[in-house]
Structure 1
Amino acid sequence: MDPLEISPETFRRLADTIADLSCDFLTTLDSKPIFPKTSGVEVEKLFSTELPEQGMGAEALSALRDVIAHSRAQNGRFFGYVQGPGEPVAALGDLMASILNQNMTAWRSSPSGVTIERTVVRWLAEVVGCSGFVGTLTGGGSAANLMGLTMAREAKIPANERGLRGAPPSVIYASDQVHMAVPKAVAMIGIGRENLRTIACDSSYRMMPSQLEKALRRDKAEGITPIAVVASAGTVNTGAIDPLHEIAEIAHAHSAWMHVDGAYGALAAIAVPEKFGGLAQADSISLDPHKWLYQPLDCGCLLYRDLPMARQTFAYTGDYAKQLSDDPIEGFAFFEESIELSRRCRALKLWLSLRYHGLGAFRMAIQRDLAHAQRLVAAVRDCADLELVAAGELSAVCFRHLLRPDALEEERNQFNMALMKRIVRRGRVYLSNAMLDGKFCLRVCIVNHLTKDSDIEAVLPEVLAAAAEVAIPARSKA
C-alpha cells in the first residue's frame, strides 16, 4: 500500500470521528464562552510543535479537541466584525469539495464544478437585482475589490503590457468610511494610496454626491484622470449604504468606472431590495456569501457587466493551458476572467446550501437580522447610561457608555476601550468596536442566522454588568 493511502474502513472511522466532534461542537455551541479562556503562551505550547517524522495515525485526530477548545465559538451572541457563523449543510458541501479536489481553472478540469460556479454566480447576480452580470467566486471581498479595481484601471489606463510609466496622473474616489481593502487594492494596482481621494460623508455616514462632484471637477481641471468611484453598499462601521444611483450618474458622467463594495451589505438586497436602488448601474460589485448567506469561509464574489474587459484585464494563457475545444461550454476557462488559476470549488457549498434550504429561508434569516438590529437600537435609546452613535440601514449598531454626564470625551473613550476588553473577556457576548467622529464605540453587527430574541436581550445587561467591573478613569488635575 502507498504510504499515504488509507483503507475505506479507516477513512470511514476517521470521518465518523470528525462527524462526532462536529456534532458535539454544534450542539454545545450556546454553552461555550465565545472567546476561549486561553492565552498566547498556552496556545503556542499546544500547537507550536515539531514536525513528526513518523506518523501518529488516528491518534493525530485527538488533538482536534484542543483545536476546538481554543477556537472562537460563534454562537448566536457573536456580533463581532461582519461574519456569519457558518451554515452546517454548506460545511458538508465544503467537505465534499475537498474530497473531489477539483481544480476550478476551466471546464475541462472540473465539468460539474465549473458549471455549478457559473450557475451560482448567475444566481447571486439575479438575487441582488443585477441579472446579466457575470463573474467569479473569490476568497472574499478584498480579492473581489482588488479584481474590480484592476479592471477599472485597465479600462481607463491600460497598463498590462507596458506598465504605468508615462501614464497620466490618476485618482480613485471613495468615502471616508471606506473599508481598508480598498486602499490596499489601490496600492496593489499601482495607483498609490496618495491618489485615493476620500469624500466626506453626511451625518448618516453616506458619501455626499455633491462633494464627489466637486472633487471630480477639480481633479479633471488639473488634468488628473478619474479611474473609478468606489461606493459602499454597507460600510463596515455602520452599515451605511451610499446613494448608489446618484454616485453612478456622477461617475459615468465623468467617464469613471463605478465599483460597489457590497461585501457586507449587497446580499441584503434579497430581503430589502428597495434599499439598493442604483446597484445595477455599477460596472463591478463585490459581495460575500460568507457574510450574509452565512457560508463557511471562504466565499466571496466579484460581479461585473463587461465580460470583454474582464478578459482584457486577466487573460494570459501559456501554451500548456490552451483550450482544446471551440464549444462555448466545454472551452470555458475561469483563468481567462480572473486572477486565480488553481483554486478549490468554493461554489459547491453555496450551491448545496441554497438548494437544501431555498432562497426563502435565507431571506427570512436576513430579515430577522435586520429586525434584531432595530430591536437593539430601541433598547439603547431607552437606556440612560448609553448613547446611540449610529444605527445604519442594515444590521450594524454603534453605541457607547456615557460614564457620567460631565465626562470628557477622552475619558469616555478610555472607559469604552476598557469596557470593550472586559466584555470580550467575560465571553458571554462578542462585540467589536468602531471610531466615529472621535468617539470610541461599541459595535454590534448582526449577520448571524443563529441569533434569537434572547441573544439580543442579553446584550445590554452584559454591557452594563461589564461596565460595573471597569475602573473609572481618574480625572487629571488641571
Structure 2
Amino acid sequence: MPGTRHRHTARDTNRTRKGDVMSHVAAPQTAIPIRFTDLTQSGLKDDQLFNAHNADGYLQGMLRCVDLVKRKVASVDRPFTGVLPEEMKARFALVDLDRHLGDLDAVLDEVEHLYLDDAVYFHHPRYVAHLNCPVTLPAILAEAITAPINTAVETWDQSAGGTFIEQHLIDWTTQRIGLGPRADGAFTSGGTQSNLMALLLARDRYCAGIEGHIGNQTHGLPAEAGRLRILASQVSHFSLQKAAALLGLGHNAVVPVACDANYRMDTRALEREIERCRRDGLIPVAVVATAGTTDFGSIDPLNDIAALCRRHALWMHVDAAYGGGLLVSTRHRHWLAGIECADSVSVDYHKSFFQPVSCSAFLVRDRRMLGHVTYHADYLNPASQASEGTPDLVNKSLQTTRRFDALKLWMTLRLMGADQLGELFDHVIALAHDAYRALQDDSELEIAVAPQLSTLVFRYRPETPVPDDVLDAANAYIRQALSRSGEAVIAATRLDGHQFLKFTLLNPETSVADLQVIAERIKHHGANYLTRHALTTPAHARATRALS
C-alpha cells in the first residue's frame, strides 16, 4: 500500500529464498513475538552512532576535529600554560553533564576551553619532564582507524585480523629480544601491568612446585607465600611494590639491592641478598633487572644477573619499559646484551618507540607460563575453542576487553621501518650526552651522574654555601616556578634524601640550546628564591655563616 511501511514479522523471518522460488516455513510458536525496531517510527535518534548511514557526518566531524588540533598545535608557544588545579577545577563546577550541548561546534569549543587551551604539549621542545614522547604520524592515523571500528582483541570472533596483527608484533618483539622459539606474550596497558604479570608468573611457577599444593589459581596461596621474595635494584620502578601487594605478598616482599656509582644493580650485593634471604628462612623466587631506570636510565648488568639467576634457579624478569627502544637501535643494541636470557620482559612502545599511550607488551620465554593467567569462560573463550586452535588472546592476558593498540605500532613499522624508530631513540640518547657535556662545567649546577640513556639528573647549587634544607626548598620551588610560568616543564626526584631536578629527553626536536635556556631559567628562579625567601630568615643567615 503506497505510503505504508511494511512491518517485518516472525513469518517474514522464516521465509528463505531458493533460486527464484520463495519457500514458506511455518513459524514456530513463541511466547514473545519477535519485533524489529524501526528507529524512525519509534522516534529514537541514531544520528550520532557510527554506521554506514552516518559516514558523511563522521567525515565532517573528523575534519573539524583535525582542524582544531592542527590550529592548536600550530599556536603552541610553550609546553604548558601554568594553570593551577584550583583554577581549572572552578571551570568544571559550571559544567552540567545532565544538559547536553547538542551541537558539535559548541562541544569542540568546550573541549578547547577545558582541555586543549591548558593541555601539556609533549611535542614542545621544552617539555622535558617525564617519559612522554611526541608520537609518530602513522600511529595517530592508526587511532583514526581503530576508534570507529572499535575492535576488541580479546577473542578471535571480535577481532579476526587484529588478532594476527598483534600476534605478529609479539613474535617480532620476542625475536628482537632473542627469547627463542617457544616465546609468546600479549599487549598490555603499560609497564605496571607487564611487571604485575611477570611477578604473578614467577610466584605461581614457584608455588606450583610446592609438594602438596594444588595450585594458586584454584586453592589460593600456600602458607609459604609470606616468605617469598623478589629482588630488584634500589632504584627499580615502584610498580614492583604495587604488584607484590596485589599478589598477596606485600611491599616488603620486594628486597632492594644496592647499586654501583652509576645506579646499576651491584651483582655482588645481589648475591649477598639472595644468600641472606635463605639464611633468614625466606624464599627468593625472582630477580627484576632494569633496562633503563626511570630517573637515571641505568641498565643493570643483564648477563651477570642472568648467570646468578641460573645458579640459584630464580625467575629473571627484565623491566625494559624505557630501554626497550634499544631493540631497534643500530648504535646501542649491545647495551641490552643478556636480555635474551630473561624469563620475561616488559617493553613500553609508548615510550622509546614513539607510540601514543597506551601501547606496551609483556613477553615471556615459555608460552606455557601464560597458562597461569588463563581462565575459560563458556560464553567467551571456552576450553573447546582453545583445543581446536582458536587464537583467543584473552587466554594470555590479565585484561578481558582490550583495545586494538597493536595497529599503531604496526602502521609505524610498515611506513617508517624499525631503523628509523631506532634513529629517533639514538638521537635523544646523544642529546642527553651532549647536554651533559654542555652543562657539567656550570658552577651553579650539580650533576648527579653522567647520563646512560636520555635522562639527566642534577640540581641548582650556587657557589655560595647554602644549608641543605634551604637548597632542597629552592630546587622544589624552581620546578614549580617553571611550571607556573609555562616556560618549561621539568621533572624532579630525590637522591640521598635531597631534592634534585631532571631532564627526561624523548623529543628529537629538543636541542642543546633549548636545554641551556632552561638551565639559565633554573638558575634565575633559584637565585630569586634564595633572595626573596631564604636569605630573609635569621636562621638561614646563621646557617650560611656557619657553612662559610
Measure how far apart 1:410 and its partner are.
2.4
Which moved further from structure 2: 221-230 or 110-119?
Answer: 221-230
DSSP-derived class of the 1:458 partner: helix
Correspondence for 2:415 among 341, 350, 356: 356
Higher relative contact order (CA 8 A, sep 6+): 1
Partner of 1:47: 92
| One of 63, 70, 75 as aligned partner of 1:16 | 63
Matched residues in 2 for 1:437 and 1:394: separation?
21
Instruction: Specify whether residues 131 and 289 from structure 1 end up closer, same or farther in structure 2 by C-alpha distance, changes over 3 A only.
Output: farther
Residue 485 of structure 2 is aligned to residue 426 of structure 1: yes
CA distance in 1, matches of 2:517, 2:180: 41
Matched ranges for 1:249-264 at <5 A: 249-264=307-322
Match of 2:14 in 1: none
How far 1:439 moved relative to its partner? 3.0
Structure 2 residue corresponding to 1:138, chosen from 163, 171, 188: 188
Q: Which amino acid aligns with 1:422?
A: A
Secondary structure (helix, strand or coil) at the match of 2:127 reads coil
Report the 3-state secondary structure (helix = DSSP H, G, I; strand = E; otherwise coil) of the residue aligned with 2:185.
Answer: strand
**Counterpart amino acid of 1:94?**
E
> Comparing 147-156 with 162-171, which one deviates more in the overlay?
162-171
Using the alignment, how far apart are the partners of 1:456 and 1:476 within structure 2? 32
Asked whether the 8 Å contact 2:81–2:485 carries over to 1, the reply is: no
CA drift of 1:446 comes to: 0.7
* Letter of the structure 2 residue corresponding to residue 195 of structure 1: A
How far is 1:453 from its partner?
A: 4.5
- Determine which of 458, 467, 472 is the counterpart of 2:526: 467
Which deviations, in whole Å up to 9, do the C-alpha atoms of 1:83-131 show, x marking residues without a partner? 2123232122112111111111122221111111111222223334445
Q: 1:83, 1:447 → 2: CA distance?
A: 7
Q: 3-state DSSP class of the match of 2:489?
A: coil
Instruction: Tell me whether 1:310 sits opposite 2:381 in the alignment.
Output: no
Query: Would the aligned equivalents of 1:128 and 1:270 in 2 still touch at CA under 8 Å?
Result: no
Q: How many angstroms apart in 1 are the aligned matches of 2:221 and 2:383?
A: 31
User: In 2, distance between residues paired with 1:147 and 1:456?
Assistant: 38
1:70 aligns with 2:118: yes
- Structure 1 equivalent of residue 157 of structure 2: 108
Distance (whole Å) between structure 2 residues aligned to residue 184 and residue 231 of structure 1 = 17
1:297 to 349, 357, 365: 357
Q: Provide the C-alpha distance between the structure 2 equivalents of 1:302 and 1:204, rounded to a whole number of angstroms.
A: 27
SS in structure 2 at match of 1:441: strand
Q: Does the aligned pair in 2 maintain the 1:294–1:449 contact within 8 Å?
A: no
SS of corresponding position for 1:229: strand
SS of 1:37's equivalent?
coil
1:162 aligns with 2:219: yes
Distance 1:355 1:208, change over 3 A: same
Partners of 1:131 and 1:367 in 2: how far apart? 26
For the pair 1:365 / 2:424, whether they are aligned, the reply is: yes
Q: CA deviation at 1:327?
A: 8.5
TM-aligned CA deviation for residue 435 of structure 1? 1.2
| 3-state SS, counterpart of residue 260 of structure 2 | coil
Match of 2:11 in 1: none
- Tell me how far apart the structure 2 counterparts of residues 326 and 427 of structure 1 sit (CA, whole Å): 54
Taking structure 1 as reference, are residues 397 and 326 closer, same or farther at Cα in structure 2, changes over 3 Å only? closer
Q: 1:86–1:297: 8 Å Cα contact kept in structure 2?
A: no
Q: How many residues align?
A: 474
Residues 234-269 of structure 1: CA deviation (Å, up to 9, x unaligned): 111111111111111112211111111111112223
Q: CA deviation at 1:78?
A: 1.3
Of 54, 57, 73 in structure 1, the residue corresponding to residue 103 of structure 2 is: 57
* TM-score of the two chains, using structure 2 as the length reference: 0.82
Write out aligned runs for 1:188-199 (5 A).
Answer: 188-199=246-257
Segment of structure 1 superposing worse, 153-162 or 451-460: 451-460
Cα RMSD of the aligned pairs, angstroms, is: 2.0
- Mean Cα deviation higher: 34-43 or 14-23: 34-43
CA distance in structure 2 between the aligned counterparts of 1:73 and 1:284, rounded to whole angstroms = 33
Q: Structure 1 residues 218, 468: CA separation in 2 closer, same or farther (over 3 Å shift)?
A: closer
Matched, 1:175 2:233: yes
The offset of 1:476, in angstroms, is 5.3
Code of the aligned partner of 2:160:
P
CA distance in 2, matches of 1:380, 1:452: 13
| 2:301 aligned with 1:243 | yes
What's the counterpart of residue 3 of structure 1?
Answer: 45
**Unaligned 5+ runs, structure 1:** none
Q: 1:53 to 1:427 in 2, by over 3 A?
A: closer
Task: Determine the structure 1 residue equivalent to 2:292.
Answer: 234
Instruction: Decide whether aligned partners of structure 1 residues 360 and 453 sit closer, same or farther in structure 2, where only a CA change above 3 A counts.
Output: farther
